[in-house]
Amino acid sequence: MLLLGLASVTFRERSVQDVVRLAVDAGSEVVEWAGDRHVRPGDRAAASAARGACAGAGLRIGTYGSYHKAGASDPGEFDAVVATAAELGAPRVRVWAGTAASADVSPAGRAATVDALRRCADAVAERGMGLLVEHHVESLTDGLDTALRLRAEVGHPALVAHWQPRELPDTDVCLAEVRALRPATVHAFSWGADGFTERLPLGDRADLWAPVLAELTAQSRDDGTDTEVLLEFVPGDTAASLRRDAAALRDLRAGRDLAGAR
């Protein structure tokens, strides 16, 4: 099934308790915790507190959003990431596939990133977790072809996919990516041509999100797995924007048309 929720980094200046309150107020089902702010690697107390706060509010724990960059970060730092994710009760850990665009990476650099990802996958698999690689520019997942190639090269059963749209995304391109990647976690937002600086209400791109959610629903049903769809980058970083976009996500998941959709 599709689980709709919140990426805590959306409210990076708020406390764990505030994030939980905002998530509940918006009708969220799951929270992804940010490793650069709310639950830092090695902070087992923060992980335990976030886990307890979610349990008390009836929220699931989603992916642990680490900012570990395989092939660039110190490999020794990943032990703390894994231990923190385990304390949090996260089903998977998110990492980056390097720090450079795929076209700019040498064969040796790519091989080093692949090896680092394989080691990360081994480490999380020992704890019964998955490894999710962020679909992101300036990394080896900056395009569909290179992301699929990376998955084949790593060749590890613990590796799962993430997906999020780009600036002013094309619906057909996005659907092709979602169909090929079959992501376990999706970050949901609507951007104009200026990307991060031009944030739109999610419902302004119902033409994109309605078919994407329908595809994700079908994948989840066919695979017998849960898929997390997490709001991020809401306009103005406000609680009101979160509530509005969360309501739009619920309507789209239910197959309802949105008033004013493009």
- What pLDDT is attached to residue 46? 96
Q: Work out the average pLDDT over 136-144.
A: 95
Position 198 in a domain: yes
Q: Work out the average pLDDT over 166-188.
A: 95
Position 6 in a domain: yes
Q: What average pLDDT does the structure give for the chain?
A: 95
Domain tally, the chain = 1
Position 262 in a domain: no
Q: Which residues pair with 195 in a beta bridge?
A: 192
**Tens digits of per-residue pLDDT, 186-200?**
999 999 988 889 999
Residue 111's pLDDT band, with cuts at 50, 70 and 90, is: very high
Position 24 in a domain: yes
- What pLDDT is attached to residue 259? 54
pLDDT beyond 50 at 128 = yes
- pTM equals 0.94
pLDDT beyond 70 at 3 = yes
Q: Work out the average pLDDT over 33-61.
A: 97
- What pLDDT is attached to residue 260? 42
Which residue stretches of the chain are H helix? Answer: 16-25, 44-57, 78-88, 107-125, 144-154, 171-181, 206-223, 239-253
Position 232 in a domain: yes
pLDDT beyond 80 at 127 = yes
| 3's tokens | 């689980």
Counting other chains too, the contacts that 86-89 makes at CB distance below 8 Å and 24 or more residues apart are 86/127, 86/129, 87/44, 87/47, 87/48, 87/51, 88/33, 88/39, 88/47, 88/48, 88/50, 88/51, 88/61, 88/64, 89/51, 89/61
| Contact call for residues 41 and 81 (beta carbons, < 8 A) | yes
pLDDT beyond 50 at 262 = no
| Contact call for residues 62 and 33 (beta carbons, < 8 A) | yes
Q: Work out the average pLDDT over 225-240.
A: 96
Give the separation between CA 204 and CA 84, rounded to whole angstroms. 37
- What pLDDT is attached to residue 261? 41
Q: Work out the average pLDDT over 177-193.
A: 96
**Tally of CA atoms within 13 A in the half-sphere of 149 that contains its CB:** 13
The DSSP secondary-structure symbol of 35 reads: T
Domain span holding position 131: 2-254
Sign of CA dihedral 110, 111, 117, 121: positive
Indicate the Cα dihedral angle 214, 230, 157, 148, nearest 10°.
70
Residue 9's pLDDT band, with cuts at 50, 70 and 90, is: very high
CATH for 75: 3.20.20.150
Position 247 in a domain: yes
CA–CA–CA angle 59, 121, 48 (5° rounding)? 35
Give the separation between CA 125 and CA 91, rounded to whole angstroms. 10
Position 104 in a domain: yes
Rg (CA), the chain: 17
pLDDT beyond 70 at 258 = yes
- What pLDDT is attached to residue 167? 87
- What pLDDT is attached to residue 168? 87
Give the separation between CA 111 and CA 116, rounded to whole angstroms. 9
Position 260 in a domain: no
